[in-house]
Amino acid sequence: MNEKYKTLFDSFTFQNGINLKNRLVMAPMTNFSSNEDGTVTDAEAEYYARRSKGVSMVVTACTYVTRSGKGFHGEFGADTDEMIPSLRKLASAIKAEGAKAVLQIFHGGRECPPELVPNGDIVSASDVQSERNSAKAPRALTGEEVEEIIAAFGETTRRAIEAGFDGVEIHGANGYLIQQFFSPHSNRREDKWGGSLEKRMAFPLAVVDEVKRVTAMHAKEPFIVGYRFSPEEPEEPGITMADTLELIETLAEKDLDYLHVSLNDFWSTPRRGVDDDRSRMEIIHERVGGKVPVIGVGSLYSADDVIQAFETGVPLLALGRELIIDPDWVEKVETGRENEIETKLDTGAQARLVVPDPLWQAIVNTPGWFPGVQ
């Protein structure tokens, strides 16, 4: 191994005692490849297994906690106990290769395609239409329904434990339901779930509390609970960097194992809300990194990209698209072959890369999403 990259292979221990063999994580990425009934396909399990050998932890694509929360075609489900064998298949495929398996749990809210949810009943914090899709405006959830969805996050956590996962990641990012409650764009409520910044935090924090409660009740051994968030929104009004710093300071008191930032570019800088020209990652890590580990991510492809990001002090780094492009990235760095890393997608290598057909079609038909796809 090149001495320059050695620190990437230092082990890391969460506050709950779970040890990671290195600092490299597979980021959660939607793959559109599950069965119609929400069960995991063989192709999906093989795709994860192919990428689980080098990294220390794999965060899966998001899974819906209720049928009203299914956000993608080909998304796998965790909304009923009948899904536990399917979930076990996925956890086993990842763990067999030596990585910790973390299930990302989610509700799509107003971003759900109407054809994927019962009766096309799209729901959110308020009846404000998304600027990100062309779907109809959602229906505002009743107070009782809000409580039911919080409970559903807990029930899905129990299923993750029973299926053999090592943890869950609460998906509070990318404009989905948890973020919709925190955002002043999508949350115009006047009850206890909306209004002030503190009240807009109530739903995300209630989900965290319920997931932690269920974990304490059902997990027989240490179980990872992480939280993913997007630092800002482009919408007006929308989440600002200042809002997010308030949120993560509160989350840092919740005894979480990590916070995972959702960014397309690790080095992106704040849009509004703070007078600071450093990257969002550096600002976030400085604010809460002493209390809770932060996972960084965003367009990191080469070994030099990753070590440069690691030198900011962020303890864990997630690779997303790069692990699709080169599933052997970690092993190549570990064995001193970082010059062999592929950083552009070989569009003739679907079989070699073990990528399910729905995901492959999405990649090759979306120019600019992956390096090498014109």
Sign of CA dihedral 154, 156, 158, 160: negative
Distance of CA 95 to the CA centre of its chain: 18
Residue 308 reports pLDDT greater than 80: yes
Separation between Cα atoms, residue 159 and residue 182, nearest integer Å: 26
10 Å CB burial of residue 269 (0-12, 13-18, 19+) is: middle
Share of the chain above pLDDT 90, in %: 99
Question: Please, what is the average pLDDT of the chain?
Answer: 97
What is the pLDDT averaged over residues 204-209?
98
Nearest to 29 by CA among 327, 244, 305, 271: 327
Q: 44 near 32, Cβ under 8 Å?
A: no
In single-letter form, the type of residue at position 48 comes to Y
Burial of 2 (0-12, 13-18, 19+ CB in 10 A): middle
Tokens linked to 44 = 């999906």
3-state secondary structure the chain: CCHHHHHHHCCEECCCCCEECCCEEECCCCCCCCCCCCCCCHHHHHHHHHCCCCCCEEEEEEEECCHHHCCCCCCCECCCHHHHHHHHHHHHHHHCCCCEEEEEEECCHHHCCHHHCHHHCCEECCCCCCCCCCCCCCEECCHHHHHHHHHHHHHHHHHHHHCCCCEEEEEECCCCHHHHHHCCCCCCCCCCCCCCHHHHCHHHHHHHHHHHHHHHHHCCCCCEEEEEECCCCCCCCCCCHHHHHHHHHHHCCCCCCEEEECCCCCCCCCCCCCCCCCCHHHHHHHHHCCCCCEEEECCCCCHHHHHHHHCCCCCEEEECHHHHHCCCHHHHHHCCCHHHCCCCCCCCCHHHHCCCHHHHHHHHCCCCCCCCCC
Residue 272 CA to residue 265 CA, distance in Å, equals: 17
**Length of the chain in terms of residues written:** 374
Closest CA to 228 of 306, 282, 165, 176: 176
pTM of the full structure: 0.98
CA distance 74 to 90: 15
Over the stretch 63-99, which tens digit does the pLDDT of each residue have? 999 999 999 999 999 999 999 999 999 999 999 999 9
The residues with which 57 forms a beta bridge, in sequence order, are 25, 100
Residue 301 annotated to the active site: no
pLDDT of residue 10: 98
> What pLDDT is recorded for position 374?
86
Q: Is the pLDDT of residue 136 over 90?
A: no
CATH architecture of 3-107+147-364: Alpha-Beta Barrel (3.20)
What integer pLDDT is reported at residue 135 of this predicted model? 74
pLDDT digits (tens, 9 = 90+) for 271-300: 999 999 999 999 999 999 999 999 999 999
Which residue among the candidates 48, 176, 258, 301 is catalytic per the annotation? Answer: 176
Domain ranges of the chain: 3-107+147-364
Q: pLDDT tens across 225-255, in order?
A: 999 999 999 999 999 999 999 999 999 999 9
